[in-house]
Structure 1
Amino acid sequence: MKTILFATSAVGLALPALAHAAPQAAPAPVADPGAPPAATATDIIVTGTRTTGTRAADSAAPIQILGASTIENVGQRDLRQVLGQSLPSLGTQSFGGDAANLTLNVALRGISPNDTLVLVNGKRRHFTANLAVLGGSPYSGAATTDLSFIPTGSIGRVEVLQDGAAAQYGSDAIAGVVNIILRNDDHGGQLSLTGGQYYKGDGKTFEGSFNKGFKLGDRGFLNLTGEYRFHDYTQRGTYDYRFFNPDGSLRSSVSALNANGLKGAANYPYVNRILGDARYQIWNLAFNSGYDVSDTVHAYAFGSYGRRTASARQNYRAPSRYTGTDANGSTVVPFPNGFTPRIALDEEDFSLTTGLSGDLAGWQWDGSLTYGRVADALTTRDSINAATWLPVQKASTTSVRPQTNFYDGTLTNSEWVADLGVTRDIALGLAKPLTLALGGQYRVGHYGIQNGEVASYYSGGPAAYPGFSPSDAGVNGRKTWAGYVDAALDPVSGLHLDLAGRYEHYSDFGSVWTGKATARYDFSPAFALRGTVSNGFRAPTLAEEYYSSTNVSPNSIYAQLAPNSPAVAALGFGKLKPEKSTNLSGGFVAHPGGSVQLTVDAYQIKITNRIVASGGIVGYSSGFGSNGVVSSAVLSTLVARGLIPSTDPAAIAASGYSYFGLNLFTNGADTRTRGVEATLTAASHLASGDRIDWSLGFNYNRTQVTRVAALPAAVYNAAFGQTSLLTRNAIDALTTATPRVKVIAGALISHGPLSLNLRETLYGITRQHVSLDGTGSSNTVIGTPTTLITDVNLGWKVMPAFRLDLGANNVLNHKATTVPNVNNGGVLQPADGSNVYDRPSSLAPWGINGGYYYARVTLSF
């Protein structure tokens, strides 16, 4: 641990000198983690309005602010976790399948992560290239901004607009906007070192962050941040049902070869280690700078570079799964103790924004250019491609060690964004001047798949994660240009109106108009009503359109098809179209007295042509009918991809897999989301001089599916029950797999140099239908009950510049509920088709790992 922490310090101290500024952001001093949060009534916001000087308490749309002190008081410093533990309306992904476990996501209001737009200093941030593809998850299809590459030490505050804002910011802002405002200090700094682990003793985590501000002459600043994070594997669940009984004893049907091999496998008898966190290391560098070129022109630049190396364990393979014969006819077992494949990621993320802003004849103008790019190189490790090894072994008289590591290919995503906007206040004799904003934006994006080495995709590729084949590879792009107008005015005292309109043209989808009308009326300083109506638009991400791959488990193979491919068209599915939405919201803001502030907002979001992950579309199911064939068209598609040698049922059965099928993204549903959000903040000043800052956040969110697209005839099979594009499992992913209710209650108690931060989070029920074949067609339901999670942080300011923190998340060590077992041919196995008994449900919104404790030291200077 000492070695890692010292290395972390060295990373922070060796930062290169770079440059940035956010002219629209108020100064954000280096935070004292023990300081009480700034009162929201005095926080000036830059999100959701073009009017300068607007306070959060005066906003016509619901907006929440997370200051630097709030960020510092969260034990796990990844921004994804910070937001999830602080915002009732935001959900976080706790576990992902296959490569999705390497880059986890967040979502506002229970809608797809792709429907939340992420900005940095008001500028659009690029998306990840690693698409979450496994169906049945609320996060399926996520290919949005990777928050892990924004170091928390670089953040001054986060403004979260909880309202549709496509007319103001463009595509993707259906659920809301997360605007990350970077620090712009020109002096001082902070060094923070954190270590922690889960109660079970795994998941060891080390974090180091260094931030420093510098003056650039007399007219500018430079703020630098370096960050390092390490997180180790976790393992949950117990025994693999394929080899063990629920009590951990070996099943009588296990062969002698496997029984002997299992006893020598790592972590016996818990040999299957797929259920848990990935191991990762992340290095982040970020900068923010600005310089006053003259009295009327300001130059700014900001950016970041990040590197992640990560790997996630997959299902254990037994010694007998892959065997061969040599030239003498003798049996060769390349893995006498079996093996656990891993999916590994080597990822680089880069972003740079440069711009000028100023004043010209009363017009405030701002022009900028942003470039962002991410490259995800994927490999399969500790695995085997039997098709490439068997012929070599057959020709040799001695044992041949198979190739075990495979380069699977690289995913890339990049975007250029050019912005130009002007704003002016115009006196019209109204209560306040009219604020008129005009602007335009031009974007060019590209998404690419580079195929892997031949052995990574030949004849189905290696076990666990086949590589990308030449048929998957390619680079696709689009161009978008937009123009907008925004007018904000106060016709009479107390009434504020904001009207926004936007026109966007996409090279691949054509044109769209979006608009938004917002109103707020203050009856008095103590009470105001507010409401919005808008329509929204989200173009499919390029990853959703063009990604294709193969998912291989020990008993199934499913192909992920690109929606715009000829193979999908041949099955009867259409190309992806944009989502469209209508948003309504209404609520009030109240200041009953003192420091108390209450906000309540109800909302409705209707999305048509929503892009969703299909249920598993099965082509072959062992034991179905006379030969297992569910859809010949699906099998023909799999033959064309080289995943099966032919559509002959006998040959398919001989493969040893029970299920073959496909998944895809499609405009498969219309949905309606209704909810209520409320916040309450207050402060108590005690006679002793102590202070308690109270906060309460509430979110109720319910999504209903109002239309499901028809399933094409080529894959329809009534006898099998394959009659709907969205299975029960897939519908649950949209409606009940995330909690409808989330409540966060907090109390920050300050007593001299000591502080105690208590946070209680109530998560409502989650549930989802599951089945052995992955379709969710059975009556088995998994989920989690209503659960209260307690977090605590104790801080001691040893001296003005030095602080110690001890804390824990999920203090009471609440565990996720486990997947029940079902009897399948006399064998008990997990009801969701997985392999490990006592598997924790990934629907647990607080995570699958239980309690976590940590310690932190912070040095301010």
Structure 2
Amino acid sequence: MKLKSNALNQAIKFALATTTTAGLFMSGSVIAAEESETKVNKNVEKIAVVGSRAAPRSVADSPVPIDIVGGDELSKNGSTDMLDMLQAAVPSFNARQQPISDAASFVRPVNLRGLSSDSTLILLNGKRRHRASVIAFQGGGVNDGAQGPDISVIPSVALKQVEVLRDGAAAQYGSDAIAGVMNFVLKDASEGGSVSIRQGQYYEGDGDQTVVDGNIGLPFTDSGFANLSFQYKTADATSRTLQRPGATALIEAGNDSVATPAQVWGNPELEDDITLFANVGLDISDNSRFYMFGNYSDRTATGGYYYRNPQNRSGVYTDGNGDLLVGAMDGNADACPNIAITSANVLTQDDYINNVANNDNCWAFNELFPGGYTPQFTGEINDTSLTMGTEGEMTGSFLNEALYDISASVGRNKSTYTLVNTVNPSLGADQPLDNSFEAGSYIQLEKALNIDIAKLYDVGLDDPMNVAFGAEWRQESFEIVSGEENSWEQGVLATQGFSVGSHGFAGFSPESQGIYKRQSKAAYLDVEAYLTEDFLVGGALRYEDFSSFGDTVNYKLTAQYSVTDELSLRASHSTGFRAPTVGQANVVNTQTSLVNGELIQSATYSPTHPVSVQKGGVELDPEESQSFAVGGVYQSGDFFLTVDLYHIEVDDRIAQTDKLFITQDDVDSLQGLYPNPELLLGGSITFFANDFDTTTQGADVVANYSMDLLEGSTKFSLAYNYNTTEVVNAGNYTSDFKVKRLEKGIPEHRATLTVAQDWENVSMFVRANYFGEYFATHADEPDIGDTYGWSKTADAAVTFDLEVSYFATDSVTLSIGANNLFDTEAEKLQEVSADGSYGSRAVVGGIYYESGPFDYNGGFYYAKATYTF
């Protein structure tokens, strides 16, 4: 039912007082009822403020499709990671585990509606959330090079709810809102709280997780609140490992220095993950309110790399042509010729024993790591933010009774990388005593100032027209801090065929170090009105100017028509953009990649770096988009249904190029432009480029039905997403393999069906998760057919989740549950190749494809105890 005049004005005041002018979002996609609310009243109508900054409305009156996921619902999951919690609740949201993926293992990229993680705008209490400093260099195709915010630092215990706007909204909020907007709303209670402890592990007996979290609401004088939350968790590593055949062959040949297994393929170990969140509000007068919120988070994660075989790892052990790489520590390469590897264990060869092992000048890495080695990669991620502001109602002047919100925010994310059990090959025998290298840091820092004003104007319609306008200033910087010298220096063996830099992840050199900044200024206008009692229309216009690439103007139109009291139709059209991040425009990095089954070092440079320019790199431009959506809402009694169709066109999409190999012509052209370009010969590089366009189409279906059943309260919830992407105008750097990953790498069909049951002292839910077919790949290795099984069309799969809670007292709740209850297996890599040799499973030392839509680790069970006060 539409709100009239005074009621509408009060509703807008309520909206601004609770979420600031950025707005709340709402949907019927509530998968499991929250225990406490359900026991009080299971039929409370859900109200939200849509993205147009107008009045709160019921879900049925929203002109755009929105999901709302309650904080209690998020905690009904075996995983302690916010990404996994959201994936179980929002079918168009996808997140993957990232084993052996450099920094992407620690800050996993996500997808909404099949677009990259930085195509979804993230808000906290309605304010833009800063990005992570981690760039996903191995992002599983669609997320290659993505740099989005780190959602995983937000604990469910701190949240009142999460709102997911599934519609383009760049005209309202600025860059990144191509796929939609996710708003994380912090709890704001001034009393009560909870403390819980959760323990779980995978069915395989590994990956033990312990989480302790808590929340408390406190009064802040008589007119405010201070809501505080914390979470502490640890998680052991998992292993879904297969001993590599090369390592087995070495052991059989008498090399007793090979570890079993030679490497571990699985989730990284998580240590001392501590997160603190605070949300504070205070009424400072009858017409104004002060607010402040922020967080401090810190965690350390350790993962592994691929095994370096001492018989064939080029750039360290061999020259790439089958000969043992021997270096002269005095710089005279002629004194130490390479040695042909003629046996299964080079350590037993006479020429190795006489010319290397017993020669102080001639060096081979078999002397240091005779059984090979597997680098370990540790990342410390530190995340902080603070937002302060005031909001209220103006008095006097032409803006009398207008509502305002003025705020300032700062956010910082720092990732520091350390490698152990590895080498800088160019240093030869002069390695650090502990074989440890601090590789350097990335720092993302963002600052923002916002002013938003909303006012009702009587223009002769049944209801006043809502007009909102405002301005924003933002500054974003990306800093590269160089690593310690031995992680990047060119040692005496650099010109003798040995790789340069800490192996696996080369340290950032002083030439890479620097701070890169960008500023933007924006202004917007947002108007919404009922033309008739049943016909709602809205429009938004935003102008934004960036110091790096210039300005852009975007618009949005929305409409909803109530056909009957039960049925309404809605539609929207908008343009949008995503500015290239400062990190994408300036990053320098070196990582290890698989190419044709072999490990190689691959460097990433900025698009304007001399090496990139030699390969065609140019300064980045923003992505541009057009979105169209139509849908309907039907509500009758306890039954609720929404169906929404969408069409999103994105031009000039930004992504990493495929690997480009340096030729002798490149080396000749780079003389004088880049120091020692000959060291690049035979290696590969990537950079970021605006290289292709895509068209994404799909449908969302959300249905809920509540009834009394089995002497209790029952709720059925269905959420389904169909999503397909087509790459058009693939550019110079987008291969057929990458096109297939972009188009087929995420299941086209995704659905969840949940049955939630509540009795007086017991509640439970069962959730079925359906994942359709998808193109499974591994380690960014191109599709080379069925010979080794690097890629295939994976079968559809269904997993089940279950949780049962017992309310022992009014304050104590005991819960047990399981994710992937029946231990549905992820898609397996090929064990034996078509030619009868070892398949991809053996080559990488893992069992499952890393690109699957659900956790490859298998079933996970857990127990949880919660004390509420």
Where 1:567 maps in the other structure, the secondary structure is helix
Could you tell me which runs of 5 or more consecutive residues in structure 1 were left unpaired when the two chains were aligned: 1-19, 245-249, 393-399, 620-628, 653-659, 712-724
Aligned to 2:368: 334
SS at match of 2:691: strand
**Counterpart code for 2:441:** T
Alignment correspondent of 2:377: 343
Task: Give matches, 1:411-422, under 5 Å.
Answer: 411-422=442-453
Aligned-partner residue type, residue 388 of structure 2: T
In structure 2, what is the Cα distance between the partners aligned to 1:647 and 1:613? 19
Deviation at 1:375, TM superposition (A): 1.1
Equivalent residue, structure 1, for 2:806: 796
RMSD (CA atoms): 2.8
**Aligned residue in 1 for 2:5:** none
| 1: CA distance, partners of 2:433 / 2:834 | 34
Q: C-alpha offsets along residues 69-116 of structure 1, whole Å, 9 cap, x if unaligned?
A: 211212223211111110011011221512211111221001000100
Aligned partner of 2:754 in structure 1 is 746
Q: Quick one: which amino acid aligns to residue 695 of structure 2?
A: R
Equivalent residue letter for 2:754: G
Of residues 408, 421, 433 in structure 2, which corresponds to 1:369? 408
Measured after TM superposition, the shift of residue 141 of structure 1 is 1.6
Aligned to 1:274: 265
> Cα offset for 1:778?
4.3
Return the alpha-carbon distance in structure 2 between the equivalents of residues 845 and 429 of structure 1: 53
1:395-420 deviation per Cα after TM superposition (whole angstroms, max 9, x unaligned): xxxxx874411110110001111000
- Indicate how the Cα distance of structure 1 residues 736 and 277 shifts in structure 2: closer, same or farther if over 3 A, else same: farther
The DSSP-based 3-state class of the residue aligned with 1:760 is strand
Aligned residue in 2 for 1:4: none
Q: Is the 8 A contact 2:294 2:385 kept in 1?
A: yes
Aligned partner of 2:57 in structure 1 is: 54
Report the TM-score when normalising by structure 2. 0.85
CA contact (8 A) 1:117 1:177 kept: yes
Q: Which moved more, 1:401-410 or 1:806-815?
A: 401-410
Report if aligned partners of 1:615, 1:729 keep a CA contact under 8 Å in 2.
no
In structure 2, C-alpha distance between the alignment counterparts of 1:194 and 1:368, rounded to whole Å: 37
Distance change >3 Å, CA 26–CA 328, structure 1 → 2: closer
Call closer, same or farther: CA 1:769–1:326 in 2, change over 3 Å: same
* Contact 1:409/1:467, CA 8 A, preserved across alignment: yes
C-alpha contact (below 8 Å) 1:33/1:72 kept by paired residues: no
Match of 1:705 among 703, 727, 742: 727
CA, structure 1 residues 814+768, in 2 after alignment: closer, same or farther (shift >3 Å)? closer
Aligned to 2:334: none
Query: What does residue 395 of structure 1 align with?
Result: none
- Cα separation, partners in 2 of 1:642 and 1:856, compared to 1, 3 Å: farther
Residues in 2 aligned to 1:336 and 1:40: alpha-carbon distance in whole angstroms:
68
Find the aligned partners of 1:671 and 1:490 in 2 and give their Cα distance.
35
Alignment match, 2:284? 293
Change (3 A) 1:192 1:646: closer
CA shift for structure 1 position 453: 1.2
Counterparts of 1:844 and 1:796 in 2: how far apart (Å)?
Answer: 34
Residue number in structure 2 paired with 1:431? 462
Contact 1:389–1:402 (8 Å) recurs in 2: no
Counterpart of 1:570, as a letter, is: Q
- Residue 841 of structure 1 aligns with an amino acid whose one-letter code is Y
Letter in 2 for 1:370: S
**Cα 1:330/1:479, change in 2 over 3 Å:** closer
Residue 681 (structure 1) aligns with: 704
Q: Which residue of structure 2 lines up, in the alignment, with residue 583 of structure 1?
A: 627
- Give SS of 2:741's match: helix
User: CA deviation digits over 1:471-509, x for unaligned, max 9?
Assistant: 322111100010000000001011001100000000011
Say yes or no: does 1:196 pair with 2:200.
yes
Structure 1 contact 88–697 (Cα < 8 Å) conserved: yes
1:16 aligns with none
Structure 1 residue 613 displacement after superposition = 2.3
**Residues in 2 aligned to 1:639 and 1:785: alpha-carbon distance in whole angstroms:** 53
CA distance in 2, matches of 1:766, 1:243: 32
Structure 1 contact 204–231 (Cα < 8 Å) conserved? yes
TM-score (norm 1): 0.86
Letter of the 1:616 partner, please give it.
K
Question: Could you tell me which residue of structure 2 aligns to residue 117 of structure 1?
Answer: 121
Cα–Cα, structure 1 residues 298 and 727, in superposed 2: closer, same or farther, change >3 Å?
same
Alignment-derived partner of residue 578 in structure 2: 538
Q: Say whether 1:606 aligns with 2:649.
A: yes
Q: Which SS does the other structure have where 1:145 is aligned?
A: coil
Contact between 1:129 and 1:411, CA under 8 Å: does it hold in 2? yes
Residue in structure 1 matched with residue 480 of structure 2 by the alignment = 449
Structure 2 Cα separation of the partners of residues 634 and 221 of structure 1: 64
Give 3-state SS (helix, strand or coil) of 1:732's partner.
helix
Structure 2: gaps (5+ residues): 1-16, 27-32, 318-355, 395-399, 491-499
Q: Please list, as runs of the form range in 1=range in 2, the aligned pairs for 1:253-652 lying within 5 A after superposition.
A: 255-256=253-254, 259-262=255-258, 265=259, 268=260, 270-318=261-309, 325=357, 328=360, 333-360=367-394, 361-390=400-429, 392=430, 402-459=433-490, 460-552=500-592, 555-591=599-635, 593-619=636-662, 632-633=665-666, 646=679
For residues 598-651 of structure 1, the C-alpha deviation after alignment (integer angstroms, 9 at most, x for no partner) is 0000000000001122222234xxxxxxxxx6x742797799878985477xxx
- The 8 Å contact of residues 27 and 183 in structure 1, kept in 2 or not, is answered as no
Deviation string, structure 1 residues 726-766 (Cα, Å, up to 9, x no partner): 12331122111111110010010112211111100100111
Distance (Å, rounded) in 1 between the aligned partners of 2:421 and 2:556 = 53
Q: In 2, are the aligned partners of 1:770 and 1:776 still within 8 Å (CA)?
A: no
- Helix, strand or coil: the match of 1:491? strand
Q: Alignment partner for residue 141 of structure 2, among 134, 137, 141?
A: 137
How far does residue 821 in structure 1 lie from its aligned partner after superposition?
5.4
CA shift, 1:790, in A, is 0.3
**Which residue does the alignment assign to 2:397?**
none
Q: For the structure 1 residues 60 and 71, does the alpha-carbon distance in structure 2 shift closer, same or farther, using more than 3 Å as the test?
A: same
- How many residue pairs get aligned? The number is 780
Paired AA for residue 373 in structure 1: R
**Contact 1:71–1:77 under 8 Å retained in 2:** no
Query: What is the identity, as a one-letter code, of the residue corresponding to 1:812?
Result: F
> Shift of residue 41 of structure 1?
7.4
Read off the aligned partner of 2:379 and give its amino acid letter.
Answer: L
Deviation by residue 1:297-344 (Cα, 9 ceiling, x = unmatched): 110100000001111111123456668657656977223444321111
One-letter amino acid matched to 2:454: T
Separation in 1 of the partners of 2:729 and 2:606? 23
Q: Contact between 1:172 and 1:539, CA under 8 Å: does it hold in 2?
A: yes
* Partner residue, 1:840: 848
Contact kept in structure 1, 2:776 and 2:852, CA below 8 Å = no
Match of 1:71 among 71, 74, 82: 74
Moved more, 371-380 or 135-144: 135-144
Within 2, Cα distance between the matches of 1:643 and 1:35?
Answer: 67
User: Secondary structure in 2 aligned to 1:835?
Assistant: helix
Q: Are the structure 2 counterparts of residues 604 and 703 from structure 1 closer, same or farther at C-alpha, using a change threshold of 3 Å?
A: same
SS in 2 for 1:218: helix
Q: How many angstroms does 1:40 deviate by? A: 9.0
Deviations 1:528-574 (A, max 9, x none): 00000000011011111111211135731211121232321222222
Q: Given that residues 133 and 414 in structure 2 are in contact (C-alpha distance below 8 angstroms), is that contact kept between their aligned partners in structure 1?
A: yes
**Do 2:25 and 2:67's aligned partners in 1 also have CA atoms closer than 8 Å?**
no
The question of 1:692 aligning with 2:714 is answered yes
Kindly state the Cα deviation for residue 278 of structure 1 after the two structures are TM-superposed: 4.3
Alignment of 1:144-293 (within 5 A): 144-244=148-248, 250=249, 255-256=253-254, 259-262=255-258, 265=259, 268=260, 270-293=261-284
- Bigger mean CA deviation after superposition, 820-829 or 370-379: 820-829
Question: How has the CA–CA distance of structure 1 residues 641 and 777 changed in structure 2, closer, same or farther, with 3 Å as cutoff?
Answer: farther
Q: 1:608 to 1:424 in 2, by over 3 A?
A: same
